Amino acid sequence: MAGVLGTIADPALRRAFREWLLRTADDELVIGHRHSEWTGFGPDIESDVAMSSIAQEEIGHARVFYEQVAADEGGDIDGLAFGRPAEDFRHAVLLERENDGWEFAIVRLVLYESFEALRLRLLEASGQEPVAGLARALLREERYHALFGETWLSRLAQATEEGRRRVQAALDRAWPEALGLFEGTEADDLLLASGLLAQPPTSQQAEWEGAVRAVLAPCGLVPPEEAPKTGGRRGRHTADFERMLDQMTEVWRSDPEARW
Amino acid sequence: MVSGRPDGVLARDVWEALGTVKDPELPIAITDLGLVRGVRVTGGTVAVRLVPTWVSCPALGVIQRKIREVLGSLPGVREASVEYVYDEPWTLERMTPRGRERLQAHGLAVPACRFAEPSSCPFCGSEDVVVESLFGPTLCRATYLCRACRNPFERFKPPAEP
């Protein structure tokens, strides 16, 4: 598959779009890895398989976006996924957080999937092939993740008062960093000015909040009034990510030239 | 003409060879599943374009390798490329009636068009069924329980309609 970046003539614009592709790939890889930690530990066998499948899909999605970057640079995708230092990753901090209970995993899943659907629509509307077509296909897949997350969210929050309280606490913890999903950089300004992106992330945020509140409200859940916690899009990550990266890349680092 | 085999004839051979490649996770040929988007033959050089059902399906690489193998041993093929394309998403309409029948015979229910439409039990035909899990043993299958005959069953799960 030919890379999308080779078709963008302006070097600054190409760098900006590369940034977007990396952000997307890193988000998917990191949340995919966190989801995969539920394999063998889910609350029931169906959820265990579901979370493992979602992990498999997200990591597969990361792969196709890394392929787009690698097609332009001649590198290999394992090098992109496992060979970069923490500060070169562009995912939002929310996604690297350790799985602090099933309720946190579900809240994060719901908040992220809603964001991801909006971002894929932007990529689809960019008209940059093959990324636009890829985004169109992925939108159809992500829908099932959202359904799974929303079903669990209402099940947890509407069961008992303790359930609702614990989900609300997870939401309070996740919310400021979920707002960080929309953190913009100079790359966004460039892409907006060129018309490659039809909408700034900030305007997507309002749409996201509307969609997410519509899911939360029937469950009796209210997002806290807090300022966004950002930094991930600029490579500023937490100790949670240092630990995760160390573990995730351990096998690859043992022999970076190996072919698996 | 280097190969001595007209492109039109070779294209037919290529389609026939593709019909022998099975999906490793489903008991049907990739041509019945509707994975083949197009075949182009130019002077013995073959280009096969595929569309994945699920982008993260672990069988994609296996299918690609199997196609290269069968095309590599096909007389007249000088060079073959096999790539996945995303210009149009895969939908259930791409599955052939034969593919559907074989999956049904295998005990896998297949929606007519969309996953959201009501399902029926592949064993007793009852529509009194419930979803056990949207995520079954492979990315393209969901698990169900038939309340009439009490059998668990699987149903083919296409990517959702937008």
Which domains does chain B show, CATH number per domain?
7-84 (3.30.300.130), 107-156 (no CATH)
Computed over every residue of chain A, the mean pLDDT equals 95
Cβ–Cβ < 8 Å for A38, A99: yes
CA distance B139 to chain A (A): 7
CA distance B39 to chain A (A): 16
Percent of residues in chain B assigned helix, strand, coil, to nearest 5: 25, 25, 50
State pLDDT tens for residues A136-186: 999 999 999 999 999 999 999 999 999 999 999 999 999 999 999 999 999
Strand order in the sheet with B36-42: B36-42, B45-50, B79-84
What is the helix (H) or strand (E) element at residue A210, kind and residue range? Answer: helix A201-216
State pLDDT tens for residues A84-123: 999 999 999 999 999 999 999 999 999 999 999 999 999 9
pLDDT at B3 over 60: no
Distance of alpha carbon A50 from alpha carbon A14, whole angstroms: 36
Distance of alpha carbon B51 from alpha carbon B88, whole angstroms: 8
Per CATH, the homologous superfamily of domain A11-254 is Ferritin, core subunit, four-helix bundle (1.20.1260.10)
Percent of chain B scoring above 70 in pLDDT: 98
Percent of chain B scoring above 90 in pLDDT: 86
Domain ranges of chain A: 11-254
pLDDT band at residue A203, thresholds of 50, 70 and 90? Answer: confident
pLDDT at A260 over 80: no
pLDDT band at residue A191, thresholds of 50, 70 and 90? Answer: very high
pLDDT at B5 over 90: no
Which residues from chain A sit within 8 angstroms of residue B89, using beta carbons? Answer: 133, 136-137, 140
Distance of alpha carbon B82 from alpha carbon A161, whole angstroms: 55
Q: Is B68 exposed, middle or buried (0-12, 13-18, 19+ CB in 10 A)?
A: middle
The answer to whether B133 contacts chain A (CB < 8 Å) is yes
pLDDT for residue B1: 46
pLDDT at B2 over 70: no
Residue of chain A minimizing CA distance to B139: A53
The answer to whether B85 contacts chain A (CB < 8 Å) is yes
SS3 of residue A206 by DSSP = helix
pLDDT for residue A257: 87
* Residues 6+ away with beta carbon under 8 Å from A193: none
State pLDDT tens for residues A60-78: 999 999 999 999 888 889 9
The answer to whether B117 contacts chain A (CB < 8 Å) is no
pLDDT at A259 over 90: no
pLDDT for residue A1: 56
State pLDDT tens for residues B99-149: 999 999 988 999 988 898 999 998 899 999 999 999 999 999 999 999 999
For residue A177, list its beta bridge partners: none
Which residues, numbered 100 to 139 in chain A, qualify as contacts with chain B under a Cβ-Cβ cut-off of 8 Å? 129-130, 133-134, 136-139
The partner residue sitting opposite B159, judged by closest CB among A52, A129, A140, is: A140
Q: Do B133 and A61 touch (CB under 8 A)?
A: no
The partner residue sitting opposite A57, judged by closest CB among B88, B139, B160, is: B139
Phi, psi of A175 (to 5 degrees): -55, -55
State pLDDT tens for residues A40-57: 999 999 999 999 999 999
Distance of alpha carbon A20 from alpha carbon A16, whole angstroms: 7
